[in-house]
Amino acid sequence: MNGSPLFAGPVQFAGGDGSSVASAVVIRGAKHEEDGIAAEHRYLSQNFGSWFLKRQMLLNQKGRVYDRMEITDQNGKQRAVFFDITDFFSK
């Protein structure tokens, strides 16, 4: 993603590719958690096709809040995708 935001309606994706906390997908513009969660799901569908959520974990690191979503993609590959949800967490 190279730091350039992708648009998903009023919500924007910025940051990295989500492969680690350091390269987490940053979700901007979500007014509340419902918008943010929908944006996470939209990002996963856009990038991995159909997917199945195996596990989700909340992480707090250096004053930021992250969702770690462990998924199985449409090809059967298991992966972890990290989202920086600081902007909408607990709204």
Residue with tokens 């995708």: 81
pLDDT single digits (tens) 63-75: 999 999 999 999 9
Q: pTM of the prediction?
A: 0.86
Nearest partner of 13 among 23, 3, 64, judged by Cα: 3
Q: How far apart are CA 62 and CA 77, in angstroms?
A: 30
Residue 8: band (very low, low, confident or very high) from pLDDT cuts 50, 70, 90: very low
Whether 30 shows a pLDDT value over 50: the answer reads yes
pLDDT attached to residue 48:
93
